[in-house]
Amino acid sequence: MNKNFNIVITGTGGQGLITLLKIISEAALLEKYDIKTSELHGLSQRGGSVEVHIRFGKKIYSPLVSKNKADLIIGLESQEVLRAINFANSKTVFLINQHIIPIPFEKPISEIETIKKLKMQSKNILLIPASQICQQELGKSVTAGIYLLSFASFKKIIPLKSQSILSAIKQVVPKKYFEENKKTFELAKKNG
């Protein structure tokens, strides 16, 4: 990998963004990259909009991704991903969970509408019903983020080996949840 790789993940508080951040950065450390990440804690997490940044490569300074410089934007909720639109450029991949968490008292933004808007920056949009797949196949949807990340590694959308992702999952998630996360990983492999 010649240049730094920049990821922005969006979603809402409680969707496990910080866990994903940990997994990606541990996987990047396994591959000996320099890493910087940024996250927010506290009241800003209570069900509000959340955005985390992960950058890895040879030498990383800023923990925040610059505008128009994201290589990958992962949206764990299909409306929230719009908030990251200006981190994208024409080559950015949007990897989006086809899943809406309504904003109280607001009309939901449809996925068609979201895609139309995102296309103003990049046409590389993957809309995947990760929550639904995990719910159907595993009985719960909480691992949707792990599904998207594993999927990204099998599809080579993220320059980290799938094996590194799996090792990082093992390192980061509590033991009692490892099995369901591993199953999610396998499921992404099958579909990826």
Partner 1 sequence: MKKKILLGNEAIVQGAMESGVQFVSTFPGTPASEIGNTFFKMSQNKEFKGYFEFSVNEKIAMEAGIGASLSGLKTLVAMKHFGLNVCSEALIPFLYTGTKGPTVISVADDPNCWSSAQSEQNSRGYSYLAHIPTLEPSDPQECKDFIKLAFSLSEKFKIPVMVRTTTRVSHQKMPVEIQSIPKIKTTGIFTRDIKRFVTMPPRVLEMKKELLKKIEEISKITEKSKINYISGSKNKTVIVSSGISHLYVMEAMQELKINLPVLKIGSFYPLPKEKLKRFIKGAKKILVVEELEPYIEKEIREISSKAQIFGKNLLPETGEFNPETVISAIAKIVNKKIKLKEIKLNLPKRFPQLCPGCPYWLIFAAIKKALPIKTTIFGGDIGCYMLAGFPPHSIQDYLFCMGSSIGIAHGIKKSSKQKLVTFIGDGTFFHAGMPALVNAVFNKSNPLIIIVDNRITAMTGHQPNPGAPITPNGIKIENIVKAFGVKNLKIIDPINQKEFIETIKDFSNKKEVSVIIARRPCVFVIKK
Q: Is 100 in the site for partner 1 (CB under 8 A)?
A: no
x-or-dash pattern for partner 1, window 7-46, by CB under 8 A? -----xx-------xx--xx--x----xxxxxxxxxxxxx
Contact 166, 146 (CB under 8 A): no
- β-pairing, 72-75 vs 93-97, is parallel
Contact 53, 37 (CB under 8 A): yes
Q: Is 137 in the site for partner 1 (CB under 8 A)?
A: no
Q: Which of 1, 31, 58, 89 binds partner 1 (CB under 8 A)?
A: 89
Q: Which of 1, 31, 58, 66 binds partner 1 (CB under 8 A)?
A: 66
Q: Is 65 in the site for partner 1 (CB under 8 A)?
A: yes
Residue from 119, 52, 124 nearest 95 by CA: 124
**Residue 116 class from Cβ within 10 Å (0-12 exposed, 13-18 middle, 19+ buried)?**
exposed
How far apart are CB 4 and partner 1 at their closest, in Å? Answer: 9
Kindly give, in sequence order, each residue whose CB lies less than 8 Å from that of residue 25, ignoring residues fewer than 6 positions away: 35, 37, 54, 56
Q: Is 61 in the site for partner 1 (CB under 8 A)?
A: yes
Give the separation between CA 69 and CA 114, rounded to whole angstroms.
Answer: 20
Pick 120 or 190: Cβ nearer partner 1: 120
Q: Is 120 in the site for partner 1 (CB under 8 A)?
A: yes
The residue ranges that bind partner 1 (CB under 8 A) are 12-13, 21-22, 25-26, 29, 34-49, 60-68, 79-80, 82-83, 85-86, 89, 103-106, 109, 117, 120-121
